[in-house]
A and B are shown apart, each in its own frame.
Chain A
Amino acid sequence: MNDTKTTASPRLDSKAPGGPIAERWDKHRFDLKLVAPANRRRFKVLVVGTGLAGASASASLAELGYDVTALCIHGSPRRAHSIAAQGGINAAKNYQNDGDSVYRLFYDTVKGGDFRARESNVHRLAQVSVNIIDQCVAQGVPFARDYGGMLDNRSFGGAQVSRTFYARGQTGQQLLLGAYSAMMRQVQAGRLRVMPERELLDVVKVDGIARGAMVRNLRTGELERFAADAVLLCTGGYGNVFYLSTNAKKSNVTASWRATKRGAFFANPCFTQIHPTCIPVSGDYQSKLTLMSESLRNDGRVWVPKAAGDKRPANQIPEDERDYYLERRYPSFGNLVPRDVASRAAKERCDAGFGVGPTGVAVYLDFLDAIARHGRATIEAKYGNLFQMYERITGDDPYTKPMRIYPAVHYTMGGLWVDYNLETTVPGLFALGEANFSDHGANRLGASALMQGLADGYFVIPYTIAGHLAGRSLQPVSTSHEAFDAAEADVRASVDRLMGIRGSRPADSFHRELGKVMWDQVGMSRTKAGLEDALVRIRGIREAFWGDLMIPGDARDLNMELETAGRVADFLEFAELFANDALTREESCGGHFREEHQTAEGEAKRDDENFCHASAWEYNGANKPFTEHREPLEFEYVHLTQRSYK
């Protein structure tokens, strides 16, 4: 673990094809085995999660004729957290004639990811991006249009072209409803079963291959068995390990974590995206954080008082006593520096005592100049709905008072390690969307999450799953197989263990405590000493959890406290791997900033010599250290360069 040289692990075969990058996906698709139409209904596919990745995969696979079952943690697939994405979806359509191309989107994504993603995967993502927009329009997704009836685009952080398609501030909602409606059509056709209110608690393997899952019916509390020929985890990211994040309350790491314990390697857990413009924490009752779209930085100016501890209201602080610190530090990009840079700069000012508002942990995002220059009507037309949302949550009017903002955890680039086929290190177990690690490297560009979720579900898995189904001779497995008996016994034992603690504290209280440690020491800015301290604290919270947790009610019944407790238990284990990954990666890149590794100007310093790899962690059993496996990353097309936004 102390060896920092990148040597390829024989356990990680990326299966990325060679040859010219633009031809790789076509060639690979041709080389993959096919399942004949008449045979498809004999194959059972279990899709876990119904966000963009899961919904698009379930619908597409059912259309092809596979026998698909989709598990959904919500009451309806339409409530998955993809629904909350605001900004938009990138695609290399070049509708604006501004020089965009598949290659440029590929290039921007590799560079934006700070050179920690696999080139072959990113190029495929850029290639299929154009098909996604066509597909969504065909479903009736009401993207914004210009007066001529053509699709409109906006530009988004980290890109010099306009390639972001959007549906007001509700792009994720509209894309998810499109995929959901495609699912509902397959439900009607009898090719897809949706099982709502179900949570995966274990992956079941037979002869080393994923053949199903143990699932808890959240309505009744009963454990259920699902057998399948392939299992797709489309279960999202793990940002809620920080407790406070922009993720929905049900978002969790449980499916990925339990798969990790069954042999799927977990890659780059420390790559976390912190979004700079969120509504700050207002008190200890806070349950989540709300994102304010990145687009606000196009017109808003970020500042804090020049004097530390200045408690005057914003409008009483004269111009020459304000520090527009982004404009000062980054004169050419100013308020439009990328997400990670803007976030760290806000933290630096607040840590130094210049923060504003009652908590001192916020900075101003001020629109008064923009209103004076463009008029209130223009600003209202651009940001009216966002201003209204801000006012609803804070009670303050951003037309007359600057907004208060602070960074918050938003997205996680790490996830289950997958090869080019999106298959994890467990054969037959695939990971799609935010649940995998594959496309965004160490930092995700704005409007690329929706693109990746739908690319994986609509246009990648329908091909690559056939390689598994047709390529391996899968014997029929029923839910009475002894592997299910064993998995059920394990799940029941862990549920009983949680129920049996009978302490005094709700699960949520431990989760808050964990979140604070993660945010303070494993968040925006990390140090060796801080991470080592965090590891001790995480273990302490875990011990307290297993000694003093209280779950009222019965396990064989609807029991939301039990649901939360199971997820918190997993976060408490996962957090340790997360901190260890951050400790091992002795460099700064993208969403991972180690204070020991920065330039004289305080910018991230990457170490391509020693860390140009993905770290994939193998579980070795309870309380044993994980083994790190490294997949070296080669950059044949986009050459390694240092990012600069000065």
Chain B
Amino acid sequence: MSANEHDETIDLTLKVWRQRSGGAPGQFETHEMKGVSVHSSFLEMMDVLNATLVRAGKEPVVFDHDCREGICGSCSMVINGQAHGAEPETATCQLHMRKFRSGETVFVEPWRADSFPVIRDLMVDRSAFDRVMSAGGYVSANTGSPPDANATPISREDSDQAMDAAACIGCGACVAACPNSSAMLFVGAKVSHLARLPQGQPERERRVVAMVQAMDSEGFGNCTNHYECSKACPKGIGVDVIAQLNRDYIKATVVRSN
């Protein structure tokens, strides 16, 4: 649904989640937003709200953001029940207000997952992703004298598929969208990226086992094929990376132990 082409502004009722800290109770706070420019982004609409709150001496709504062009993965809002809102392949920061109707009520909530505790309001702690990455999301190649970059040809298909998976911005929408709070799209993306490349082969088995163990110990759930993760992913990463993750994991554990 989009705003009427000729309307330059819309009015909204915002229901924004406010929560002091992970342990404190939270609740929705209602704000009437009048005259929101349809050309502004969702975060710019939130900026306007915050400026109003600050001028009134009230604490602004805390949310994570930085690049505002859909690549740093900081922004993280559940909008009307959907991670990053309803637009496909669009991070919250690239969602624009022309996608909303005047008079609409819009609910804004943080990612909700046990592994992403709320810091305040709409900001959550996603350091679990860094810990999963440090378990094995890399190629062990010290800075120094690697072989010439063209020494090992890589087929264009492999390289393109590696890039498809490597496009992950680590925002965590996959976890927020999953009824099990599974991080398998995130982990699968890294495992698939490196599995496609010759550089990733020496540590391939060790990597998948270590990352899955870390993922489990961080409390992320398992995949039960809802595919909400892929639908919420602002980079459109496909569930084939989860299949790859499962294949590699089975190969590295069951097959190997037999």
Instruction: List chain A positions with a Cβ less than 8 A from chain B.
Output: 56, 59-60, 63, 74-81, 83-84, 93, 95, 131, 133-140, 142-151, 167-168, 170, 173-174, 177, 180-182, 184-185, 187-188, 194, 196, 219, 248-250, 282-283, 285-288, 290-291, 389, 392-395, 458-459, 462, 504-506, 508-509, 550-553, 558, 560-561
Contacts and interface: CB of A to CB of B under 8 A. Distances in A.
A143 to B, nearest CB: 7
B253 to A, nearest CB: 21
B77 to A, nearest CB: 15
Given A392-B90, A552-B54, A81 B66 contact: yes
B84 to A, nearest CB: 12
B68 interface: yes
Nearest to A169: B71
A568 to B, nearest CB: 13
Contacts of B145: 131, 134
Nearest to A179: B143
Interface stretch (B38-46, B100-108, B222-230): B38-46
Given A137-B149, A139-B141, A560-B62, A75 B133 contact: no
Interface stretch (B11-19, B23-31, B119-127, B239-247): B119-127
B69 A392 contact: no
Contact of B137 (A181, A285, A287, A558): A181
Contact of A56 (B72, B129, B143): B143
Given A76-B130, A181-B138, A459 B143 contact: yes
Interface in B47-93: 47-48, 50-51, 53-55, 57-60, 62, 64-74, 87, 90
B135 A188 contact: yes
A248 B62 contact: no
In the complex, the 3 A-B pairs of residues with the closest C-beta atoms, listed nearest first = A149-B153, A138-B146, A181-B138
Interface in B157-193: 159, 162-163, 166-167, 169-170, 193
A258 B150 CA distance: 44
Given A167-B163, A286-B40, 18 more contacts: A63-B143, A75-B64, A79-B72, A83-B169, A138-B141, A138-B147, A139-B138, A144-B159, A144-B163, A148-B153, A151-B149, A184-B130, A249-B67, A392-B96, A393-B96, A506-B54, A550-B54, A552-B58
A170 B71 contact: yes
Contacts of B51: 506, 508-509
A77 B47 CA distance: 25
A187 B138 CA distance: 12
A194 B65 contact: no
Contacts of B154: 145, 149
Nearest to B57: A552
12 contacts: A63-B142, A75-B74, A81-B67, A83-B71, A136-B149, A150-B153, A181-B137, A184-B138, A185-B138, A290-B68, A395-B38, A506-B50
Given A81-B72, A140-B197, A558-B62, A285 B143 contact: no
Given A84-B72, A550-B57, A135 B40 contact: no
B95 to A, nearest CB: 8
Contacts of A79: 66-67, 72-74, 170
A128 B96 CA distance: 42
Contacts of B138: 139-140, 181-182, 184-185
Interface of B: 37-41, 43-45, 47-48, 50-51, 53-55, 57-60, 62, 64-74, 87, 90, 94, 96, 98, 119-120, 125-127, 129-130, 133-135, 137-150, 153-156, 159, 162-163, 166-167, 169-170, 193-194, 196-197, 199-200
Contacts of B39: 282-283, 394-395
Given A93-B149, A283-B39, A459-B143, A184 B71 contact: no
A113 B171 CA distance: 37
A139 B141 CA distance: 6
Nearest to A188: B134
B163 A168 contact: yes
A138 B167 contact: no
B149 A76 contact: no
Nearest to B138: A181
A458 B44 contact: no
A177 B50 CA distance: 32
A556 B111 CA distance: 25
Nearest to B135: A188
Nearest to A550: B54
B71 A84 contact: yes
Contacts of B66: 74, 79, 81, 248-250
Contacts of B196: 142
Contacts of B69: 84, 288, 290-291, 389
Nearest to A553: B59
Contacts, number: 219
B55 A219 contact: no
Contacts of B139: 138-140, 181
B43 A140 contact: no
A428 to B, nearest CB: 22
A148 B161 CA distance: 16
A463 to B, nearest CB: 11
Contact of B68 (A63, A288, A458): A288
Contacts of B40: 282-283, 285-286
Contact of B96 (A187, A395, A506): A395
Contacts of A149: 153-156, 159
A137 B68 contact: no
A530 B143 CA distance: 48
Contacts of B144: 135
Contacts of A394: 39
B130 A194 contact: yes
A135 B143 CA distance: 7
Contacts of A506: 50-51, 54-55
B67 A287 contact: no
Central interface residue in A78, A146, A150, A167, by most chain B CB within 10 Å: A78
B150 A78 contact: no
B194 A185 contact: no
A449 to B, nearest CB: 15
A406 to B, nearest CB: 15
A113 to B, nearest CB: 26
Contacts of A144: 159, 163
Contacts of A133: 149
B1 to A, nearest CB: 14
B143 A75 contact: no
B147 A134 contact: yes
A147 B156 contact: yes
Contacts of B134: 184-185, 187-188
Contacts of B130: 76-78, 184, 187, 194, 196
A248 B68 contact: yes
Contacts of A560: 60, 62
B141 A135 contact: yes
Given A137-B146, A552-B60, A75 B67 contact: no
Contacts of A553: 59
A107 B58 CA distance: 56
A30 B137 CA distance: 35
A160 B248 CA distance: 45
A285 B159 contact: no
B170 A78 contact: yes
Nearest to B154: A149
B128 to A, nearest CB: 10
Contacts of B137: 181, 184
A508 B159 contact: no
Central interface residue in A134, A143, A504, by most chain B CB within 10 Å: A134
Central interface residue in B48, B138, B153, by most chain A CB within 10 Å: B138
A184 B62 CA distance: 28
A143 B74 CA distance: 24
